[in-house]
Amino acid sequence: MHLTLYRFSESPESTIGLLYEGKYFNCFTLEDQYQKVKVEGETRIPEGLYKVKERRVLSGLTKKYRAKYAWFKWHFELQDVPGFKYVYIHIGNDDDHTDGCIIVGNSLKSNKVDDVNNLGASTPAFKRLYKRMKDAFTVEINIINISKDAESAWPRRTAPSR
């Protein structure tokens, strides 16, 4: 399964994007903002290509999700993100829920980030995406900054040579 996240709008507080599976739109995304110097829990990850795997650890967040969602088993974690650990794709509504992760939703308040922007219908979007990832043999996500305001100085990661 190949996912592509197009980050298209940025603010000093957050980043919004479009998540595609192949050529098909899946959902909207919300992440933390870009920062030249990483601030723990307040900075989005660098653009690039990442493998995504189940993290089979019974953490507090995993226990919380299992108690709330009968279909949930393990979190999906982006692998080998430079300078970051435990980067998940999960449920949330605003940048306070991201903590460096990618949150998904079926709706977006506006196509421009502002201080009160948020995602809607996050749980159904996550459930749909989660089931698709769970059924896939492999999952990878390519994160691409397309915002005209993108200031990312991080080098873009590319697929490893084979």
Specify if 150 maps to a domain.
no
Specify if 160 maps to a domain.
no
Specify if 126 maps to a domain.
yes
- Rounded distance between C-alpha atoms, residue 148 and residue 10, angstroms: 9
Specify if 82 maps to a domain.
yes
Q: What angle do CA 41, 8, 140 make, to 5 degrees?
A: 70
Work out how many domains the chain is built from and give that number.
Answer: 1
What average pLDDT does the segment 154-160 reach? Answer: 46
Task: Return the bridge partners of 115, or none.
Answer: none
> pTM for the full model?
0.86
- Rounded distance between C-alpha atoms, residue 14 and residue 76, angstroms: 21
Specify if 154 maps to a domain.
no
Tens-digit pLDDT profile for residues 38-65: 988 899 999 999 999 999 999 998 999 9
What average pLDDT does the segment 131-149 reach? Answer: 91
Most confident of 80-89, 115-124, 147-156: 80-89
Q: What angle do CA 150, 152, 155 make, to 5 degrees?
A: 135
Specify if 92 maps to a domain.
yes
User: Which among 149, 124, 116 has a CA at the least distance from the CA of 28?
Assistant: 124
Give residue 97's domain range. 2-145
Specify if 156 maps to a domain.
no
Specify if 130 maps to a domain.
yes
